[in-house]
A and B are shown apart, each in its own frame.
Chain A
Amino acid sequence: MRQLEMEICENVTSKKASMEGLRKFLGALPFLGPFLFLIILFYLVPVTLTFVMSLTSMDYVLEWKFVGLENYLRFFQDSGVKTVVLNTVKYVFFTLIINVGFGFLLAIATSYFIRNENIRLLFQTIWMLPRMTPPVVYALLWLWFLDPTEAGMLNSFLGKLFGIPAQNWILNNPMKVVIIANGLIGASLGMVVFSAAIKSIPVDYFRAANVDGASDWQIIRYVIIPFLKWPIMFMTIWQTLSLITSYEYILLITDGGPLNKSEVWSLFSYHKAFSNYEFGYGAAISMVLVLIAVLIAILMLKVFGYDAIMRRGNVDGMRGEAGDESNKNHVAV
């Protein structure tokens, strides 16, 4: 009897709680609404359509002919997939190193070593140029720069200066070209984020380290890097996710060639769908990639902690977090 009463009681409270939740959600709707609408329209709907399409054998006649999981089976048996996956891993890994590592070096150079505000701004603006340039123009610049004829910029430069014969850079090193071109764009984002983080480290820490006898290298090692732990992690996650699905510069510079040597996952899907008109198969390739990206995102957020990233994205958060703990273990003198 008593237990029943309690159950009823719990039921009522949980009902109350759900009502409360609903009211809260309705209250938040006007604020979330516009964004929710955009997410649904430009993310959820395309993903659903892609999924449905991946179950069809749609080709250039654009017929929705359902074939079940045939496309997926084909994907896992496709002999070209191995190269594509390897290329993607290589591409993401090395571009990430340039994006984060070189971005960090740029940030140190422009915010720690250059004290003059105007000179710093000049250098940062120069590094921002690739990002401000439309992708097609940026890719064209690389094509001109690496032109295989003797008139190509790099070739004529090396030829006149060192007498090195003209080379076909893109044909010989497609992956390297693609990684460097992409890395230099991404590095500017890292530079901006890390610069802001370095600038927000209170000047007293640098002074204290200076007085305590730290060299520039030791200040970077013991002061700047620990303070930038969370911005670095954030950039790594962010760039990993965006690199996995990016292909536009590769498409423009090498188009995946020669012989699929620089073909990455998302470009592979694009080629299947828009070059071979195998829309169904292309969709299936995309779907697998979406799944992997979601898995990586969840994994990274679990490992690093979503809250922690949001909270510790800045230097102040780091101190705030330490402050929280002090409340728990506080012992006065």
Chain B
Amino acid sequence: MEVVMRDVVKRFGNFTAVDNLNLTIKDGEFVALLGPSGCGKTTTLLMLAGLYKPDSGEILFDDKIVNDVLPKDRNIGMCFQSYALYPHMTVEENIAFPLKLKKLPKKEIERKVKEIAGKFQIEHLLKRYPGQISGGQQQRVALARALVKEPNLLLLDEPLSNLDASLRISMRAEIKKLQKELGITTVFVTHDQAEALSMSDRIAIMNKGKLQDIGTPEDLYMRPKNMFIAGFIGNPPMNFLEVGFNVEGDKIILRRNDFEITLPKEISANYMKKQNDERVILGIRPEHLSIGNEAPNTIKGEIFVVEHLGKDKLVDVKVGNDRIKVLTGQDFEGKMGDMVNVHLDLKNIHLFDADDGNSMKWAA
């Protein structure tokens, strides 16, 4: 089922939780709503579920406006962060609950429950109560309950955040595989970028009620439209340095009192031009920095601290009053207080307007 949100606004009193949201989710697509807490992603999900009514704008399921359709008539499956399994019902009764409400014949309910329990490998738990099974098992039961009525749309509200780290990673893969097998349109709310990046076809990234961008994980990572996306996606986060913008010939020169970076012609051509000496933000990810010999077009700094990440080392380098993070190999030998030269992979830098935070890259 295709889901379209058109100019959707939701307010709570004076607070605008969702501001003019436009979003199209294609049939069978797995879309993550990603953003920090309070960004409006759960409100958006609850509007899709019909639990909240938008103040203005339209929500369409397959070209049909559903603003006034009650949750029970939308045929959606929903899975909550708390799982919301009824503690007084057995696993079997929990899964059968949506079918019982639909007044399906008993035999059919039994058959469907058996079938979905088989798919989630929880047949042996059917007679138990939710309090008697583990968190991972509860998660499966909640998913089974959401899917047993064969919904057109599956809504997942932070379904993995109550699981421990290793279980979370294995559930990620499982949910993704299941979604592809069933081909069911899925919207998934999370504040964890790793989950969003690893599971979804496209990510809608939100901040303060506004949609920042929607795109494939790769798009958002490689070509962030603004500083919020650039800083939110990627771990460790992108480094930002305020620099002065200058153009000499067809080259851009980024200058501040402690370093100067000249962008070659073919890279300079990617960016909008500003007036000389205007302040802009240079953004570069830790994985696109390296530490090397003294050379022109590098940034000189002092090692502030070295963190071991297992596979890599993360080096904090003090540049003037700023600190930048550099990802280096395990063999890096530098110590606190050493002076180093940080080399930039110029193909992978980002320039942002200092006023509105938007990327200065020409749209492709």
Contact = CB atoms under 8 A, between A and B. Distances in A.
A326 B132 contact: yes
A291 interface: no
A206 B46 CA distance: 13
Interface stretch (B83-91, B282-290, B294-302): B83-91
Interface of B: 46, 49-51, 71-74, 76-78, 80-82, 84, 86-89, 97-98, 101-102, 128-134, 136-137, 145, 149, 155
A332 interface: yes
A325 B86 contact: no
14 contacts: A208-B145, A210-B71, A210-B72, A211-B76, A213-B71, A213-B73, A214-B72, A223-B86, A318-B87, A322-B87, A325-B132, A330-B132, A331-B133, A333-B136
Interface residues of A, number: 31
Contact of A204 (B72, B84, B102, B149): B84
Contact of B132 (A214, A322, A332): A322
Nearest to B130: A322
A222 B87 CA distance: 11
Contact of A213 (B84, B86, B101): B101
A213 B80 contact: no
Interface in A179-229: 202, 204-205, 207-215, 218, 222-223, 226-227, 229
A118 interface: no
Interface string A294-333: 0000000000000000000000001101111110011111
Given A204-B82, A213-B72, A215-B72, A329 B132 contact: yes
Contacts of B132: 322, 325-326, 329-330
B136 A202 contact: no
B136 A211 contact: no
Contacts of B49: 207, 210-211
Contacts of B87: 318-319, 322
Contact of A205 (B46, B84, B102, B145): B84
Most chain B CB within a 10 A radius of its CB, from A204, A226, A318, A324: A204
B84 A208 contact: yes
A210 B71 CA distance: 6
Given A223-B86, A322-B131, A211 B51 contact: yes
Contacts of A330: 132-134
B131 A212 contact: no
Contacts of B81: 204
